Amino acid sequence: MTGTNPSRRRFVRTLAAGTAGAAIGLPAKSYARILGANDRIGVGMIGMGRMARGHLNTLVEDPGAQVLALCDVYEPNLRYAARSAPEAQTYGDLRRVLDRADVDAVVVATPDHWHALATIMACDAGKDVYVEKPSSVTIGEGRKMVEAARRHNRVVQVGTQQRSGAHFQYAVEIVRSGMLGPVSFVRTWNYSNDYPDGIGAPPDSDPPPGLDWDLWLGPAPNVPFNPNRFGVFLDENLAYARWANFRWFWHYAGGMMTDWGVHLLDVVQWAMDVAYPQAVAAMGGKFYLTDNRETPDTLQATFRYPTFVCTYENRVCNARPMDGHGYGILFHGAAGTLYLDRSGLEIMPEPGSDVLPAKIESVGGDHARHVRNFLACVRSREKPISDIEVGHRSSSTAMLGNIAYRTGRQLAWDGANEQVVDDPEANRYLLPQTRGPWTL
């Protein structure tokens, strides 16, 4: 097939030989060489839920970091976290963590609706920040995060940890090399089956002991406690029985579109070297689940970029996989297709192409490498691999998918000015409706 040269052939043979991992690693200025240049980095943890526990385990094992503070509005989460960091002080209010002069950096692993405000407050207090994805719930508050980071010269890393994955980095090289030929279509998806009960529909009730519900709500509207809005279910060992359900309510998150879609769309924009789509359309609905979630159980969003189209699909009432995969990314090029997920990558040639088929398995450890990249940049003052501008752009694309779904029409996106063109209703979704005193 035309457009596939010998250099591409050698590229795929390198993959087939299994040597891809040697070509990828940490940035040239590695964490190991930077470590020891200064004192240990004092770290505060804001939010001690399921994802934060993984961050905490990485940090307590890192000789260049010292966890000084643990913060959560739910006392059982603090009790669990203190097992791993018994010397850290515990707090119920993030402001007490930010007041500490010995805290150099914070990890923000709260529910999504707290990401922006906590990050901006931390930057204002002179702290560097590792913030979980999506970077925010609305695009406007995400832009304010970028501005706060730049205004105070802070290092802010977003938790799209696949950018620290060796095989993800190699996949990006493959796409950008042109080996697949022109890529005109990219598909991303998440499939599962929670029919019919989903997360259930428990009634409103009193908050559980040890929870500051008003502070958990923070900038979100004041509503009665509901077990699913809070979404934390711990077993007798204080371990999470499942992922928290707050992600299925619009005031706190954006459903699967921003919970998982942002991971996939981030890789698409990285590999295709684009910052944002030109137009977005989406259709779906909550058709069959009988639970009290607000986000759809079925959704398909389409994003148009200058040279390709990308789709994101989510269904939670049927788990039949795509080519054997319940989630993933497919880059469809004229010379071949690249499949990518956290377990590895696969190249599938087009008929007549001289691209060779190949598979590479992940070496794992993406999460720990991502945290260590952040710590390295705290020392070096370089931008991290998922700098807040990059994380904000990827999160914004997922949010645009939700806005298109909620307005029911195609949106033309002015990415330079971050506005929907000639659509006041859609632009109302760009900024949150915050509750005092928690305003940006």
CA–CA distance, 227 with 118 (Å, rounded to integer):
24
The H or E element containing residue 156 is strand 156-158
CA–CA distance, 356 with 347 (Å, rounded to integer):
7
The β-bridge partners of 183 are: 333
Reading the block at residue 263, the tokens are 């991971």
Give me the pLDDT at residue 73, please. 98
Contact in structure between 362 and 165 (CB atoms under 8 Å): yes
- Name the pairing type of β-strands 105-108 and 89-91: unpaired
Give me the pLDDT at residue 269, please. 98
- Name the pairing type of β-strands 41-46 and 105-108: parallel
Give me the pLDDT at residue 13, please. 52
- Name the pairing type of β-strands 279-285 and 411-414: antiparallel
Give Cα separations from 374 to 64, 156, 402 (angstroms). 12, 8, 29
Give Cα separations from 39 to 83, 127, 347 (angstroms). 25, 16, 45
Which residues fall within 8 angstroms of residue 349, CB to CB, at 6 or more apart?
335, 336, 355, 356, 357
Q: Which pLDDT tens digit goes with each residue over 165-186? A: 999 999 999 999 999 999 999 9
Q: Which pLDDT tens digit goes with each residue over 351-367? A: 999 999 999 999 999 99
Q: What is the pLDDT along the chain (440 residues), one digit of tens a residue?
A: 334 443 445 445 544 444 443 333 333 333 333 334 458 999 999 999 999 999 999 999 999 999 999 999 999 999 999 999 999 999 999 999 999 999 999 999 999 999 999 999 999 999 999 999 999 999 999 999 999 999 999 999 999 999 999 999 999 999 999 999 999 999 999 999 999 999 999 999 999 999 999 999 999 999 999 999 999 999 999 999 989 999 999 999 999 999 999 999 999 999 999 999 999 999 999 999 999 999 999 999 999 999 999 999 999 999 999 999 999 999 999 999 999 999 999 999 999 999 999 999 999 999 999 999 999 999 999 999 999 999 999 999 999 999 999 999 999 999 999 999 999 999 999 998 889 899 88
Looking up tokens 């377990």 gives 343
The β-bridge partners of 322 are: 325
Q: At what angle do helices 115-124 and 139-151 cross, to 10 degrees?
A: 20
Which residues fall within 8 angstroms of residue 177, CB to CB, at 6 or more apart?
8, 11
Q: Is the dihedral of CA 95, 97, 103, 109 positive or negative?
A: negative
Q: Is the dihedral of CA 381, 386, 388, 390 positive or negative?
A: positive
Percentage helix, strand, coil for the chain under 3-state DSSP, each rounded to 5: 35, 20, 40
CA–CA distance, 231 with 365 (Å, rounded to integer):
28
Going by the DSSP 8-state scheme, the letter that residue 210 receives in this structure is T
Cα dihedral 315, 319, 323, 327 in deg (nearest 10) = 60
Burial 146-174 (b: 16+ CB within 10 A, else e): bebbeebebbbbbbbbbbbbbbbbbbbeb
Backbone angles phi, psi at 162, to 5 degrees: -65, -20
Alpha helices (H) along 231-364:
255-259, 261-271
Contact in structure between 340 and 358 (CB atoms under 8 Å): no
Give me the pLDDT at residue 39, please. 85
Peptide bond just before 432 cis, omega within 30 deg: no
Burial 38-74 (b: 16+ CB within 10 A, else e): eeebbbbbbbbbbbbbebbebbbebebbbbbbbbbbb
The H or E element containing residue 189 is strand 183-193
Report the share of the chain in percent with pLDDT over 70: 91
Give me the pLDDT at residue 36, please. 46
